[in-house]
Structure formats: structure tokens, C-alpha cells
Amino acid sequence: MTTLCLQTAAEVALVGELSDSIRVVVWDGAGEPPPNIADVDLFVASYMEPPVPDEALARMSRLRVIQVLSAGVEAWLPRVPPGVMLCNGRGVHGGSTAELAVAGVTSLLRELPRWHEAQRAHEWVDAATDGSDGKRVVIIGSGDIGRRIGSALAAFGADVIYVNRSGHDGAHALSELPSLLPDAGVVILALPLTDESRGLVDARFLAAMPDGAILANIARGKLVDTDALLAQLSSGRLSAFLDVTDPEPLPADHPLWDAPNLLLTPHIGGGTRGWDERAYRLVREQVLRLDAGVPLTNVVVG
């Protein structure tokens, strides 16, 4: 018998019918757990919610897998019990997050905020804008989301270059960034938050980007030094599209709200309607694999 633990009854309906060899229990880590909580094999972490307390995980003494529904797993990495596998939500939010990144970058290149203001003022202004064709785009992060972004922008004629930690899969290594940034019209962050990547985009990084370049962050806010970015935006030298910020949520009095040359969205990259159906199709696949003794997908730890 394989036991799956979900946190709400709504998730049970999303997973759908399972084989008789799979038992489902519902517990959100608060209050008294169900009697068979010790038998849980696979625990599903709710999307965009804080991780359950360590003591809740400790009650799952037979736990083999933690399935996270986001692409990022930094909140879970230090909390995975020894011998437990951690899997992420790779593929669940890839299309929607890449779509938003392309929309944000394209909006800045084609100056859509400017045309929106002209529309409100009833002004018909004929002017040329920038575009993707021939633009050097450096995408830092060559996973599912980064590759989807690159494929879309390449279709518009962009010269796409991928960067990852070690330079595998045909990408450049992070160590090569100093030679890549001066020619980058657009830099897009699509990499995980780790000790190595935290604060990657600092004052020196931004200073290496050419005048008029765009920085887009659809990964994690802590990849970017917010004060350094504010200085570049305020000077008018760079523009930015941010779906994530540091701090987050962004306080109402934070200067980023009023920064010039900035397009800002409130961490909505994965939040398209239907995301939950995609996510729980993955959960269903994973628990069926576990029950059948087949290797799981999206393994980050284990």
C-alpha cells in the first residue's frame, strides 16, 4: 500500500481516482493528524504556501518523497529529512512563466506603457520602437522556463545565448558573464535561487550591461540587489521587467513602485487559470510511479 498525503480535500478531487493500492490522507500539518499519518510515502507541498512545520514531517516516519508544486525549492532544501527524495514542479509553470517573461520584455522593447499613456491622452503618435530582431538576449538559466523563453524570442529574430552554472548543455558558464553582458540588449533571469546565485545581479553586473539594456527577472527577487537596480533605473540607463522582488511582497511605500523605466507584476508568472490541473496531473503521475516502483521525474534531491 502506497500512502499519499494531500493538504486539502480540493486536492483529492484534482488528483482524481487512483488504484486500490494507493491510499489518500488529508492533513495540512496543523491540529491532530489522521491515525495513519506515519504511513505516508509521498507528501505534496501546497503551492505558494509556507512549508509545513518540521514536527509535522517528523510524524511521517515512512516518508519517501516530498513533491513541491513550484519550480523553485529553496524553502524546502534545508528541511528535507535524510533519505527523503525532493521533487519539484518542473513543467507545471514553464509555459505560463515563459509567456509572461516574453510579454514583459516585448512590452518594454515596443514601449507599450508609452502607447498606453498616449491612448489615455487620445494622442496618435507615429514613432519607431526597438524590437527583438537582431537583439542579443542572454538568458541565465537553461532549464524548462529559460529554454521556452529563448525559443519564443528566437522566433522573433533574437540572438539567444544561454548561461548556466557549469556551462553544460551547450550553454555558457556563469563565469563567462563578464564577457557576455556588454553585448546583451536583454538579460533574463530564469535560474534557481541558491547560495551561489543569491545577489548575482549586483552593481558590477548592472554596470556591465550596455546603455538602454533591459533586465527581466521571473525567477526569485533575491537574485538582484534591489538598491543597485533602483540606481540604474533612476539614472535612466537601464530598464527592467520584474515579476519578483526583494522584498516580497513589496511594501506599499517601497521606492520600486515609483521607479522609472520599470514594468512590475506581482509574482504571477505561474498563476494562470488551470495551473492546478497541470500540477495535480504531475502529482498523480508521481504517486502512480512510486506505487509501481518506477523512477520518479523532476528529482532535485535523492
Catalytic residues: 220, 248, 267
* Cα 38 to Cα 61: distance, rounded to the nearest angstrom: 5
**What's the first-to-final CA gap in the chain, in angstroms?**
22
* Cα 30 to Cα 259: distance, rounded to the nearest angstrom: 41
List 224's β-bridge partners, or say none: 201
List 188's β-bridge partners, or say none: 139, 216
Residue 45's SS3 state is: strand
E-only strand ranges, the chain: 2-6, 22-26, 42-45, 65-68, 85-87, 136-140, 159-164, 172-173, 186-189, 214-217, 239-242, 262-264, 299-301
